[in-house]
Amino acid sequence: MARRPKGDAVDGVMLLDKPVGMSSNHALQRVRRMVNAAKAGHTGTLDPAASGLLPLCFGNATKFSADLLHAVKGYTARVKLGEATDTGDAEGDVIETSAAPVTEEALLEAARSFLGDILQVPPMYSALKRNGECLYDIARRGEVVERQPRPVTIHELTIRDFDGTSFTMDCLVSKGTYIRVLAEDIGRKLGSCAHLTALRRTRVGELTLDAAVTMEALETIARSCEAAGEAEDQTEAQKEACRAASLAALRAKLTPSDALLSTLERIDLATADAARFMNGQRIRLAPPSGEGPTTENRVRVYDADGGLLGTAQLTDGLLAPERLIAH
């Protein structure tokens, strides 16, 4: 018999502002314990050395976490010119220096050359695998292996706060883009070298850092009610009420699961059609009236009360269930 997972059936997305120095999985497990969720997952790792937006999925939201794996990502990075490190960031050892002067005009021109579709060689210090072994494990042995360039897209790239040796860049990039490598490549384009000194993720798909909550804020909520619940002069009922209040306050920070699907067009079904849809049946929609989606695409589907049912493929007016939410 399968072991029942610990925790409650909590559904939603926690938009976490991950602090520097914490792994994505550590952040996920800490928040999972706070909200007492049985099922959890994230939408792609954020390096421990980086801070910023890390969407954490709980319950039904985990069914749609893959949607954000392929979404565009936004970052703000601080880059130091004249020094390269073996890891491409401030945690590595300096392996190259350059005294080549750089002007702001040259920097802006170099950055513009990377806009659009480019080929990028993944760094040795990455989780990509070669013959089943992570590249970073190979790199830690002092070895370097050939990596094939991969196509990525730099949608936006803005340079600011240049002081002659360092600059900040704000970028919007496709899945699989390494900001460390982008910084290094800009340095090489300038006849110099470079590495990241700070990296902060600001956007994942349509989700932004503005709506995120810090780990410190979540822990403050958890500690405040824990302290009240441990007071010696309180009854067990009062302590339990404090714990319940803490849990409710933490779960109130969750964003609805359909935030992961905001870029998909919406289809609302009547009660009878919703029941058939949830049984895995295809639904023939009414002929288009000039409003709503009319082309072949992926959509999000809701019931008559506005509850999310899941996602579907809409082809020639026929709605085929894809991923469904258990109710």
Token pair 């792994």: residue: 23
Active site residues: 47
DSSP label of 287: P
Angle between helices 215-229 and 24-35 (to 10 degrees): 30
Spatial contact of 199 and 89, defined as CB atoms under 8 Å apart: yes
Spatial contact of 243 and 235, defined as CB atoms under 8 Å apart: no
Spatial contact of 257 and 286, defined as CB atoms under 8 Å apart: no
- Lay out the sheet containing 283-284: strands in order across: 265-268, 297-302, 308-315, 318-324, 283-284
**Token digits for 72?**
């565009």
SS3 297: strand
CA 143 vs CA 1, 121, 125, 138: distances in Å: 46, 16, 11, 6
For 129, the enclosing helix (H) or strand (E) is strand 129-130
For residues 234, 236, 240, 243, the Cα torsion angle rounded to the nearest 10 degrees is 50
DSSP label of 96: E
